[in-house]
């Protein structure tokens, strides 16, 4: 009876040892996965910071482009409404007509 009891205890000890080893391997695997996930998170955070910086630069460039476009439109509007532009309109129209006439003659 004592031998059966010892054999049962030995079997139980073996199972507990195997279970503990399985737990250690599982814990090690979880720790490796966690370390990898943390590394990926740090990498992703770096990429996010770089993307944010690029976005800020693009927004600043867009604002500068819009300002330049508004200035050019204002300049164009000032030119088109100027006395000189209106006074030279007949001369420009004659030049356009002359170019059309010449292109028809050559064709």
pLDDT single digits (tens) 11-32 = 777 887 788 788 888 888 889 9
Q: Is the pLDDT of residue 1 over 60?
A: no
Distance CA 25, CA 89 (A): 88
Residue 4's pLDDT is 59
Nearest-CA neighbor of 72 among 84, 88, 64?
Answer: 64
DSSP 35-61: HHHHHHHHHHHHHHHHHHHHHHHHHHH
The reported pTM is 0.54
pLDDT of residue 18: 82
Widest Cα–Cα separation across the chain:
126
Residue pair 79/85 in contact by the 8 Å Cβ criterion: yes
> Can you give the pLDDT at residue 60?
97
């Amino acid at each position: 009876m004592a031998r059966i009891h010892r054999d049962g205890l030995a079997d139980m000890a073996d199972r507990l040892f195997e279970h503990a080893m399985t737990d250690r391997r599982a814990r090690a695997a979880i720790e490796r996965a966690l370390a990898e996930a943390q590394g990926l998170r740090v990498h992703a955070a770096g990429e996010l910071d770089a993307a944010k910086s690029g976005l800020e630069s693009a927004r600043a460039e867009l604002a500068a482009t819009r300002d330049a476009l508004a200035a050019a439109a204002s300049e164009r509007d000032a030119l088109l409404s100027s006395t000189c532009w209106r006074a030279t309109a007949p001369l420009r129209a004659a030049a356009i007509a002359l170019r059309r006439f010449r292109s028809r003659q050559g064709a």
